[in-house]
């Protein structure tokens, strides 16, 4: 649980700013706010005269807290089983792995199941949240393609229905932050147009769409892609497919599961070359309930899953069923295996998802005046400390 206090905390280390690494820097937290971020040698006297905790990060890195917009569960719990205890377990586990903000991600399911999740998450957000903060809900389905269900139960797939979304938005204003759908399905354009009007992210995923169908959807408001390359029509030089549209259109931001299983490092590097410089690369985990637990038998939604050597698959032994990835491990993979810079990876893990959610004025970067969602990593990029809203995770 985060340890609430009002004392001053000064953290020394290499500060990962939006566009650079500031060596021999410092970040000062007061209450829930960053009051200084800059060279250690330039700390104003007003802060050096204050008493408070001092943490020496030495050759380590001070980075903004991770924001995971696509995560199904962890610590043995699934967002589809939402209750206060379930939400505490999931947010506590992922907070321990560096996630300070997240979206509760649902599965393709009957409407009444989704109704329950929305109600529980809305109730949870109405009270102070003790761990990673739930910024809202990501509906991954049920408006997807039966040809590309992935680990979603095809029995629950529905055609896009804007009336469902209108009713949910009326009951829970601002709760739904992202909707994944197949844009080629009947009714999808009406849904995408409505999502754009509500400033909700319209995302392509689990889709049989052609390149042309994706581009047509972008024209009415689609602007994001979930777990790029997975559960979508692939790139072919004569049929670019959904993957080709995502890669080539700068209006589309692209999620990536950086575990070396869902996407080859070379393909991750390709996405990064096209998306990173325009702040459209988004690191996600797509983590399921088994994340943080040993190999064994689990469920994702209402489908049985077998986790072997950390890889989650349906009982067919082929279909990937989410992941057991954490944001800190994804961060390390992008630096060490995909060859991205620490600044690029920090943008993908924090800045870019904050921008997508409209939270960039609050969190996502280390800047004076912003909410103190901060991580301290050692020189090997291992996580050592987590602050959420200025309070240190115990």
Catalytic residue IDs: 286
Q: Is the peptide bond before 142 cis (omega within 30 degrees of 0)?
A: yes
- Most distant pair of Cα atoms in the chain: their distance: 66
Q: State residue 189 phi and psi, 5-degree precision.
A: -65, -35
DSSP of 36-91: EEEEGGG--HHHHTS-EEEEEEEEEEEEEPEEEEEE-EETTEEGGG--HHHHHHHH
Q: What is the dihedral of CA 106, 109, 111, 136, to 10 degrees?
A: 0
Q: What's the rounded Cα separation, in Å, for the pair 314 and 299?
A: 9
3-state secondary structure of 392: strand
Q: CB-based contacts of 264: which residues, under 8 Å, 6+ apart?
A: none
Q: What's the rounded Cα separation, in Å, for the pair 375 and 131?
A: 14
Q: CB-based contacts of 40: which residues, under 8 Å, 6+ apart?
A: 12, 24, 25, 26
Contact between 140 and 70 under an 8 Å Cβ cutoff? The reply is yes
């Amino acid at each position: 649980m985060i340890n609430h206090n009002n004392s001053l905390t000064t953290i020394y280390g290499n500060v990962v700013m939006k566009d650079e690494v500031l060596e021999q820097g410092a970040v000062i937290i007061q209450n829930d706010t960053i009051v200084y971020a800059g060279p250690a040698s330039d700390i104003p006297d007003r802060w050096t005269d204050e008493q408070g905790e001092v943490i020496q990060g030495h050759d380590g890195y001070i980075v903004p807290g991770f924001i995971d917009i696509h995560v199904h569960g962890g610590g043995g719990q699934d967002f589809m089983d939402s209750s206060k205890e379930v939400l505490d377990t999931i947010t506590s586990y992922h907070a321990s792995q560096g996630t300070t903000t997240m979206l509760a991600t649902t599965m393709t399911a009957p409407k009444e199941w989704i109704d329950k999740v929305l109600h529980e998450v809305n109730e949870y957000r109405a009270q102070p949240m003790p761990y990673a903060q739930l910024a809202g809900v990501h509906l991954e389905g049920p408006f997807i393609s039966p040809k590309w269900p992935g680990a979603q139960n095809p029995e629950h797939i529905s055609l896009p229905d804007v009336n469902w979304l209108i009713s949910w938005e009326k009951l829970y204003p601002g709760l739904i932050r992202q909707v994944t759908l197949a844009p080629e399905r009947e009714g999808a354009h009406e849904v995408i147009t409505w999502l754009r009007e509500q400033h909700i992210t319209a995302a392509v995923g689990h889709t049989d769409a052609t390149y042309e169908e994706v581009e047509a959807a972008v024209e009415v408001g689609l602007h994001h892609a979930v777990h790029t390359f997975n559960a979508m029509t692939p790139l072919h030089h004569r049929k670019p497919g959904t993957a080709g549209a995502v890669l080539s259109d700068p209006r589309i931001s692209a999620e990536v599961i950086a575990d070396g299983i869902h996407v080859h490092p070379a393909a991750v590097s390709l996405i990064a070359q096209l998306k990173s410089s325009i702040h459209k690369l988004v690191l996600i985990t797509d983590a399921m309930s088994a994340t943080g637990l040993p190999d064994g038998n689990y469920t994702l939604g209402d489908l049985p899953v077998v986790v072997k050597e950390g890889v989650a698959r349906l009982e067919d032994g082929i279909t990937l069923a989410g992941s057991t990835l954490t944001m800190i491990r994804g961060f390390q993979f992008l630096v060490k295996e995909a060859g991205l810079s620490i600044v690029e990876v920090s943008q993908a893990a924090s800045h870019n998802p904050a921008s997508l959610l409209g939270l960039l004025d609050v969190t996502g970067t280390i800047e004076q005046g912003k909410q103190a969602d901060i991580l301290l990593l050692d020189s090997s990029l291992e996580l050592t400390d987590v602050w959420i809203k200025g309070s240190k995770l115990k």
